[in-house]
Amino acid sequence: MNLKSILKNIKIELSQGNLDRTISGISENSLEIKKNNLFFAVKGNILDGHKFIDDAISKGCTVVVCTDFPVELNDEITYIKVKNIRKSISIISLNFYNNPSDKIKVITVTGTNGKTSVVYFLYQFFRNMNLKVGMLSTIENRINDKILDTNLTTPSAITINSLLNNMILNSCEYCIMEVSSHAIDQDRIYGLMIDIAILTNITHDHLDYHKSFLNYLNVKKKLFDGLNKKAFAVINSDDNNSNYLVQNCNAKIFRYGLKFISDFKGKIIQNDILGLSLELDSKLIDFNIIGEFNAYNILAVYSVLKILNFESESMFKTLSKINPPDGRFEIIKGNKNIIGIVDYAHTPDALLNVLKTIKKIKKNRKVITVVGAGGERDKTKRPIMGKIASELSDFVIITSDNPRFENEMDIISDIEMGIINDRYKILINREDAIQYACEYCKNDEIILLAGKGHEKYQIINDIYHDFNDLKVLKNKLIKI
């Protein structure tokens, strides 16, 4: 594509070199640069892309977009200085891929908990209705049935627009996308045409990044402030902060919930180890998923489907067949009638919801919870999670969960500060902790592995070690 076309709507502070060039690709990673590519030099929290400009040029880059010109300029290279590099990446990505979000219905899901489940439920529904759909989620990206691995809740603006373009080439009608607070703050979705934005809930998380809960709220609010009049905002009426997020929203607002007045209201009829029964539109629908938190997730999906005018009978029939995503309240049964539950609960609210759900369905079973917290992440939530785990479990095992470069014992000590009784044990090695939980169990008890969910790794320093909670638990449960 012609460089001038790519630079449409970009506020250029200064340029040097030929603007009449053909660009074959765009990237903010110098390792990915090829001949006639455009390179974005981004100053991040850890790395400064300006240090990799020469590397990008050596690989064939002909255009550099940056916030500071290098001391020495190459006469054969075009340099473009911008004030806001992240917004520039989003706008240029939109231009390079011909504004793909204008040609597909984009449904975004944001919130502290439940994003992955809502995205996955919607994806399953559309595929089961034989509709073509793309999905961007924490677990994986998909284009129809093709699976693409991911390691970010929301990819870069370049990747988002590239994937949207790919979805259009594969005749997709819908794209369902998880949107994290980091992605909103870093303008990764800036300029996208969003048709429906869903809010699951807002609770304590990512304060290591946002510094305060109000900052976190305002970043989420930014998504809804940016919706146009033709869009729809779908919010959880039972969440205390939902109304604040749509104060300045131009979109049409719909509310869903179990408790308060809402446009789409549900009622839990049954919630036990066998599944969930909900009353929707005066109809009783049985689901293969468990928990009040999943009732909210289903209601979010149901609201979207009603807005999209799906016919009720086929909608309910297809909706009832959805299954949970990997690592979201995933249940396995072991020897001695022990039930294992693997869940991604890594925030206080998510852990509280999971343990409250278990409490409602456990009957006389005891609950053993294995819990940790990520290193180099929000430290303030650690004692809160310890308190919740000890209050709602019969026994707690505190262990490691992606310590990264932080001392594992320091993380565990932070969690231990919140423990309210002496019914706990510390085992740093996560596999040892799971082994101990299995051996500690008597007949008919429940083991909850919280925090890692779908993840298939343990991050120690900056190395990803193979580790899968579900696989380890299965292996241990069949040997006891």
The interaxial angle of helices 408-416 and 381-392, nearest 10 deg, is 60
Q: What is the pLDDT of residues 288-322, one digit of tens each?
A: 898 899 999 999 999 999 999 999 999 999 999 99
Strand pairing of 133-136 and 140-143? antiparallel
**Please, what sign has the CA dihedral across residues 299, 301, 304, 310?**
negative
Q: What is the pLDDT of residues 93-111, one digit of tens each?
A: 999 999 999 999 999 999 9
**Please, what sign has the CA dihedral across residues 352, 223, 216, 463?**
positive
Which residues lie below 8 Å from residue 150, measured CB to CB, with a gap of 6+? Answer: 136, 137, 138, 139, 140, 141
Residue with tokens 């996208």: 192
CATH of 100-319, one of 3.30.70.260, 3.40.50.2300, 3.90.1150.10, 3.40.1190.10: 3.40.1190.10
pLDDT at 224: 97
pLDDT at 277: 96
Q: How far apart are CA 14 and CA 201, in angstroms?
A: 43
What class does CATH assign to 330-477? alpha beta
pLDDT at 398: 98
CATH architecture of the domain with range 3-84: 3-Layer(aba) Sandwich (3.40)
Q: How far apart are CA 459 and CA 24, in angstroms?
A: 35
What is the chain's alpha carbon radius of gyration, rounded to the nearest angstrom? 24
The interaxial angle of helices 292-307 and 115-128, nearest 10 deg, is 50
Helix (H/G/I), strand (E/B), else coil: 15? strand
Helix (H/G/I), strand (E/B), else coil: 253? strand
Three-state SS string over 405-444 comes to CCCHHHHHHHHHCCCCCCCEEECCCHHHHHHHHHHHCCCC
CA dihedral defined by 437, 441, 444, 449, rounded to 10 degrees? -10
Q: How far apart are CA 347 and CA 87, in angstroms?
A: 30
For the chain, the domains span: 3-84, 100-319, 330-477
Provide the token pair at 189.
């979705």
**Letter for the amino acid at 342?**
V
Q: Give the chain's mean pLDDT.
A: 93
- Give the residue among 116, 121, 41 at the shortest CA–CA distance from 304: 121
Which residues lie below 8 Å from residue 430, measured CB to CB, with a gap of 6+? Answer: 370, 372, 399, 400, 401, 458, 467, 469, 472
Provide the token pair at 2.
């012609």
**Please, what sign has the CA dihedral across residues 403, 405, 408, 411?**
negative
Q: How far apart are CA 29 and CA 38, in angstroms?
A: 10
Mark the ranges of the chain whose per-residue pLDDT is less than 50: none
Half-sphere exposure of 452 (CA within 13 A, CB side): 28
Q: What is the pTM of this model?
A: 0.83
pLDDT at 273: 79
Q: How far apart are CA 273 and CA 142, in angstroms?
A: 30
pLDDT at 343: 93
Cα 297 → chain centroid: 14
* 8 Å CB contact between 159 and 148: no
For residue 72, give the DSSP letter: S
Q: How far apart are CA 223 and CA 191, in angstroms?
A: 11
Helix (H/G/I), strand (E/B), else coil: 386? helix
Helix (H/G/I), strand (E/B), else coil: 264? strand
Helix intervals (H) in 238-364: 242-245, 292-307, 312-319, 348-361
* 8 Å CB contact between 460 and 404: yes
Q: How far apart are CA 357 and CA 56, in angstroms?
A: 51
Give the CA distances from residue 135 to residues 51, 148, 230, 304, 465, in Å, rounded to whole numbers and listed in that order. Answer: 34, 10, 22, 15, 27
pLDDT at 339: 92
